[in-house]
Structure 1
Amino acid sequence: MIKVLVVDDQILVRAGLAALIRAMPELDVVGEAATGEDAVRLAAARRPDVILMDIRMPGMSGVTATERILAAPADGRPPKVVILTTFDLDDYVYNALRAGASGFLLKDTPPERLLTAIHTVAAGEMLFAPSVTRRLIETYTRRADVTAAPSRDLAALTAREAEVLELVGHALSNTEIAGRLCVSEATVKTHLNRTMTKLGLSSRAQAVAFAYETGLVTPRRATV
């Protein structure tokens, strides 16, 4: 059973999402929140596996709520946060990824895609396709004019951990990385988990953003 917390300030949207999720026998809605403050409180009390988080709410934003939820001490695995947004390149989305969100969905996403997304992030994967991840982050870095400047944090990584992080930054899956490095997928997961622990990262999406910010991966300047 996957426990889900639904967060949205619009009652009709929130109720609709909750009703859709409750109709699935393998999913359980453990709470509904209309504000970021309520989301933080319920996340601590109900310990959901997945949180559907509205990004724009009065008071505390979904980004801030995500930061506080994922930064709070927790017994066991922290929840996976899926950001709900109206715009596919919302300025807040990149900040949400940096905060540790596992991905994002547009609010007009078909119901079956939403349900698949819940299972995807609950299993520890990123929500969206690698090409979307790459395009989102490259768009942000071009707009922010991020320069390639290696971080001292990278010095804490072994050569293989840095290599894995670079390939994650290029939006390769664990299977693709394993094939590229001629190692097992389990070995890739081990390297990535150690890397994220050393760098204080809580999601694969956050690792992608970190790879760009430190200059380990350089955004392409040309668009297709």
Structure 2
Amino acid sequence: MSLRVVLVDDHRMVRVGVRSELADDLVVVGEAADVPSAVATVHEQRPDVVLLDVHLPGGEGGGGAEVLRQCSDLLGDVRFLALSVSDAAEDVVSVIRAGARGYVTKAIAGSDLSDAIRRVAGGDAVFSPRLAGFVLDAFGTAATDVAVADDELDRLSAREQEVMRLIARGFTYREVASELFISIKTVETHVSAVLRKLQLSSRHELTRWAAVRRLL
């Protein structure tokens, strides 16, 4: 089955090159070169995956992270994979905190990029070598203490914990329903209960909560 992809990069030659390198099962359905056009294109196309450059014009200094913030209503249904020339820790951490599912550099081979897109679409987190360490360092706080995590998890039923982990990994409600053999309405009910019990306000906050506690 083909995956629908949107390319976001302010250099046309980069977009042309990436498009030419993608495998046949990855269909580019839109392109954008700045923050406003990226936000508009992603909302219009609602692709499976957005390939997102970190540094983009048109935002208030936010670049790719600003695109993610303005597309927060789509996180989970649309997955974001950062593709950048930068391998700076602050760039990696900023877009992951904003909701990206992975980060690869432009040195990546075309076949590896295609595989990364498929993996992100499937719910995995994907990073170029050594970049994952930045994320672990950023989220590796005292909150990872096992006793704290266990205490918070005790607030959730066994089924709520199952739903929580899948939602935090980026599964859509429909995918969770299929995975657990329950209705979408039941998934919605469980997610509402999880957010209420953990005092969180969104799926994005839930993903960060689970990542900090190494529950993904």
Q: Does 1:9 align with 2:10?
A: yes
TM-score (norm 2): 0.67
- What is the deviation of 1:138? 3.3
Cα distance 1:141–1:116, how it changes in 2: closer, same or farther (>3 A)?
A: closer
Tell me if structure 1 keeps the 8 A contact 2:53–2:84. yes
Cα distance 1:46–1:163, how it changes in 2: closer, same or farther (>3 A)?
A: closer
- After superposition, residues 44-193 of structure 1 pair within 5 angstroms as 44-60=43-59, 61-71=63-73, 78-128=77-127, 133=132, 135-140=133-138, 146-148=141-143, 154=152, 157-158=155-156
- What is the deviation of 1:62? 0.4
Cα distance 1:6–1:163, how it changes in 2: closer, same or farther (>3 A)?
A: closer
Tell me if structure 1 keeps the 8 A contact 2:89–2:131. no
After superposition, the CA RMSD in angstroms is 4.2
Unaligned runs of 5+ in 1: 172-185, 188-192, 218-224
- What is the deviation of 1:141? 5.0
**Following the alignment from structure 1 to structure 2, what is the Cα–Cα distance between the partners of residues 165 and 130?**
28
- What is the deviation of 1:123? 1.5
Cα distance 1:201–1:95, how it changes in 2: closer, same or farther (>3 A)?
A: farther
Helix, strand or coil for the counterpart of 1:81? strand
Which residue pairs with 2:19 in the alignment?
A: 18
Aligned-partner residue type, residue 73 of structure 2: A
TM-score (norm 1): 0.65
**Following the alignment from structure 1 to structure 2, what is the Cα–Cα distance between the partners of residues 92 and 78?**
23
**Following the alignment from structure 1 to structure 2, what is the Cα–Cα distance between the partners of residues 30 and 164?**
31
Helix, strand or coil for the counterpart of 2:203? coil
Aligned-partner residue type, residue 111 of structure 1: G
Tell me if structure 1 keeps the 8 A contact 2:5–2:29. yes
**Following the alignment from structure 1 to structure 2, what is the Cα–Cα distance between the partners of residues 79 and 109?**
22
Q: Give the aligned length.
A: 187
**Following the alignment from structure 2 to structure 1, what is the Cα–Cα distance between the partners of residues 121 and 143?**
33
**Following the alignment from structure 1 to structure 2, what is the Cα–Cα distance between the partners of residues 14 and 97?**
22
Aligned-partner residue type, residue 25 of structure 2: E
Aligned-partner residue type, residue 31 of structure 1: G
**Following the alignment from structure 2 to structure 1, what is the Cα–Cα distance between the partners of residues 136 and 15?**
32
Which residue pairs with 1:181 in the alignment?
A: none
- What is the deviation of 1:195? 6.5
Which residue pairs with 2:173 in the alignment?
A: none
Superposed CA deviations along residues 9-58 of structure 1, whole A, max 9, x for unmatched, are 1111111112223xx33221111100111110001111211100001112
Cα distance 1:116–1:164, how it changes in 2: closer, same or farther (>3 A)?
A: same
- What is the deviation of 1:158? 1.5
Aligned-partner residue type, residue 3 of structure 1: R
**Following the alignment from structure 1 to structure 2, what is the Cα–Cα distance between the partners of residues 56 and 91?**
12
Aligned-partner residue type, residue 65 of structure 2: V
Cα distance 1:18–1:71, how it changes in 2: closer, same or farther (>3 A)?
A: same
Tell me if structure 1 keeps the 8 A contact 2:84–2:105. yes
